[in-house]
Homo-oligomer: A and B are copies of this chain.
């Protein structure tokens, strides 16, 4: 079975996000001064073959911990769903 995973990786709340701050300032310069708490992270999509959804979720979690996120400074959340095709 083919599953589709969507993964979001964000810096932990306690970690300074200079990229988010830069974007917030740039937005303010463009007159979007009603925007705050901008945080920037990574978004990843992938497809994987697995025997069932539980196995797919376990593998995605493991891949996040080993490669896709840095658990020291980043949090990740993901969803896994059956792919259409």
A: residues with CB less than 8 A from B are: 8-10, 20, 23-24, 26-27, 30, 32, 34-50, 59, 63, 66-68
Report how far A8 CA is from B44 CA in the complex, Å: 9
User: What is the CB-to-nearest-CB distance from A55 to chain B, in angstroms, rounded to a whole number?
Assistant: 10
Judging by beta carbons under 8 Å apart, are A10 and B48 in contact? no
Quick check: B49 and A34 within 8 Å, CB to CB?
yes
Identical subunits present: 2
With contacts A63-B27, A67-B27 taken as known, whether A41 is within 8 angstroms of B42 at the C-beta atoms is yes
Whether the Cβ atoms of B43 and A8 lie closer than 8 Å is yes
Q: Closest B residue to A47 by CB, please name it.
A: B37
Other than the given A32-B63, A36-B46, 12 more pairs (CB < 8 A) read A8-B43, A9-B43, A10-B45, A20-B44, A23-B67, A32-B48, A35-B47, A36-B48, A38-B44, A38-B45, A39-B44, A41-B42
